[in-house]
Structure 1
């Protein structure tokens, strides 16, 4: 899915692979591999592409609405890994002028995950462990049940302070930030409400 969606988003923005490489700081060879379907992206790559192309992450990874009952099994969900975080996409929800993406987020023990920023508003709800969150120089510590929200375009980072941190990551976008793909393709489930 990433190959077709990336190509569609890049050409829709009128960007060459060279220009996308320059703006995203991702090598041209890597981008070519991703567009040909032979690359294996990291969290950092997907978030960087989301930031530069100004689209939700799920628009790079998915586009197919689902109907009825949808079950996402932990053992079957594809994991997107970064330096310190593993993300499993659980759901995309569209309601009125808003799009929400729900991820199971695991921050590995003693690891830090940095982001230059990306489209949307980020909400993280800690389920287990202690999570350090840094947003543009401001740092907070969260425990189970705590939540943080911020403009995801700001540089930010997560650190697992005591062992692995389990959390729910909710990314919120405006509907006008969507890529508006026309082909039905498999991937992260989508529900439309409203």
Structure 2
């Protein structure tokens, strides 16, 4: 048997940056209509304007990470469900040159998924990068969501809900309940790099 016959290399010829708006638009429209939401109702639930939701659904806008989190939370689905582009089986190679990287408005925070967008899942794995001095604020995720972070470069201060902030140095890890507003701050003068494992109570598709 060919040992590599079941290995999938996600390095297709399509430009991930160009593909992402279409994938997002298709999934948002499918999830919204399946749940019976109008654009107006989803706008009220998510805090994202109707005009922006319409632009996302038609593939005319690639939203920021914060907007996607708001939409995913309003729909009650894991973040990656909005980015689901294909079903895969067997071994999967995720080439960095083909990564779908989401950024903050100012470009000082990026998130790269380290797993294929293959539908329903309870666990997601991300690489996070924070520019020097940047603070990234996150909305509360679905009830029961847990974030587990390990810092591999720089410094990172994490605050969850009303708890005092926790300062991480290289090699430190933290686990916290992410169903409250939380923030990540890089107090250092160089880029901070961390890996995040996000766990949901149940897979929602």
Q: What is the TM-score of this pair, normalised by structure 2?
A: 0.79
SS of match in other structure, 1:70: strand
Identify the structure with bigger relative contact order (alpha carbons < 8 Å, sequence gap 6+): 1
Cα offsets for 1:80-133 (capped at 9, x unmatched)? 011542001111599xx9621111110111101001212222111111111000
Separation of aligned partners in 2, 1:158 and 1:31: 26
- Give the aligned partner of residue 140 of structure 1: 166
String of CA shifts for 1:18-65, please: whole Å, max 9, x gaps.
111112111111100111111111000111111111110111101533
Choose the corresponding residue for 2:199, options 155, 159, 172. 172
Structure showing greater radius of gyration is: 2
1:9 corresponds to 2:31: yes
2:84 alignment partner in structure 1: 62
Report if the CA contact (8 A) 2:94-2:114 is conserved: yes
Give distance in 2, aligned partners of 1:174 and 1:68. 25
Aligned to 2:56: 34
Alignment of 1:177-188 (within 5 A): 177-179=203-205
Secondary structure of 2:37's aligned partner? coil
TM-score of the superposed pair, with normalisation by structure 1: 0.83
Query: For each residue in 1:137-192, what CA deviation from the matched residue of structure 2 results, as whole angstroms up to 9, or x when unmatched?
Result: 321001112112222221000011112110001111233x411xxxxxxxxxxxxx
Cα distance in 1 between the residues matched to 2:34 and 2:131: 36
Q: Which runs of 5+ in 2 are unaligned?
A: 1-22
How many residues are aligned here? 176
Equivalent of 2:123 in 95, 100, 103? 100
Which of 81, 84, 99 is the equivalent residue of 2:103? Answer: 81
Q: Which residue of 2 is the match for residue 191 of structure 1?
A: none
In the alignment, the residues of structure 2 paired with residue 93 and residue 39 of structure 1 have an alpha-carbon distance, to the nearest angstrom, of 20
Indicate the residue corresponding to 1:128 in structure 2.
153
For residues 78 and 182 of structure 2, what CA distance do their matches in structure 1 show?
17
Q: Which has the higher strand share?
A: 1
Structure 1: 4+ residue segments shifted above 4 A: none
Q: Residue in 1 aligned with 2:136?
A: 113
CA RMSD of aligned residues (A): 2.0
Structure 1 distance, partners of 2:25, 2:63, is: 11
Q: Give the secondary structure class of the aligned counterpart of 1:41.
A: coil
